[in-house]
Amino acid sequence: MPNLPWTHRTTYQMTLIALCDTVQIVNVFAYEVSTLIETSLSSDQLAIDQGGLLADDWISNLKTSWLAFHPSDYTLQMVKVQCVERPANFRHRLSPIERSLTTANVGTQPQGSDVGAVAAIIKWRTPQAGKSHRGRSYVGPIGSNWHVNGALHATGVTTISAFGSAMIARYAVGGTKATDWVLTIYSRPYNSGEYQYATRKTGTLTVVTPPDYAGNSTNVTAFQLDPNLRIQRRRELGVGS
């Protein structure tokens, strides 16, 4: 196992941890630092500190639009940012920065939530095609009066799209803070044998073991909201966390 080194810039995972009707709701975004910021991260401690700056910036500028489409029984408890990759390293995860939220952290839609597993989908786009260059966020739960025939109604589309637009305007390529952090699609590295999948070719079920993979990071340029509501199985009791 050669442990292929990370060939991109320092990359962070931002985790939003919330509670709704006693069920934990987790959403994850990935960011890559800009070339300018990368030159300043001469130590792991500086990389950790940079994660704190990212968390504070998201809380100051995106939290309000995030809460705007969540129901009144949704509480955002924590924003956690962890450095997950450093250039020329393999899986160089550093200590996370945690920002606990105790005020102004409740969904501002007046109605309560509907079924917790129901979510809308924000699709994050990059200039490249392929699964490793595309991302999606299951956002929810959805308010009890926000759906019609399995789809978001106009208010839901407008409010969730406002968050997507705000993320693009601030963190996507060309955004106001892309000079520091760029919203990215993070594809995790792995060694051969750590990841397998089954495929059926000519009637025979075959297990495929991909070769060593150094991972990838592709910066986001746009978003698209899928108006059709979906089920996220990890939000069902007994499935995932």
Digit-coded pLDDT (tens) for 149-190 = 888 989 999 999 999 999 999 999 999 999 999 999 999 999
| Residue 238, pLDDT score | 44
| Residue 21, pLDDT score | 84
The rounded percent of the chain whose pLDDT value lies above 90 is: 71
**CA 50, CA 99: separation in Å to the nearest integer?**
13
pLDDT at 114 over 80: no
Digit-coded pLDDT (tens) for 195-228 = 898 998 788 899 999 899 999 999 999 999 998 9
pLDDT at 240 over 50: no
Structural contact between residues 169 and 138, judged by C-beta atoms closer than 8 angstroms = no
DSSP letter (8 states) at residue 103: S
This prediction has a pTM of 0.91
Structural contact between residues 11 and 85, judged by C-beta atoms closer than 8 angstroms = yes
Of residues 50, 38, 34, the one with CA closest to residue 87: 38
Mean pLDDT (whole number) for 61-70: 97
How far out from the chain centre does Cα 41 lie? 23
Per the structure block, which two tokens stand in for 58? 């998201």
Res. 241 pLDDT band, cuts 50 70 90: very low
**CA 187, CA 11: separation in Å to the nearest integer?**
11
Digit-coded pLDDT (tens) for 7-25 = 999 999 999 999 998 889 9
| Residue 191, pLDDT score | 92
State the DSSP H helix or E strand holding residue 128, giving kind and residue range, or none if neither.
none
Degrees (nearest 5) of the Cα angle 88, 94, 95? 170
DSSP letter (8 states) at residue 132: G
Radius of gyration of the chain (CA): 19
Digit-coded pLDDT (tens) for 88-109 = 999 999 999 999 999 999 999 9
Mean pLDDT of the residues in the chain: 91
Mean pLDDT (whole number) for 65-70: 96
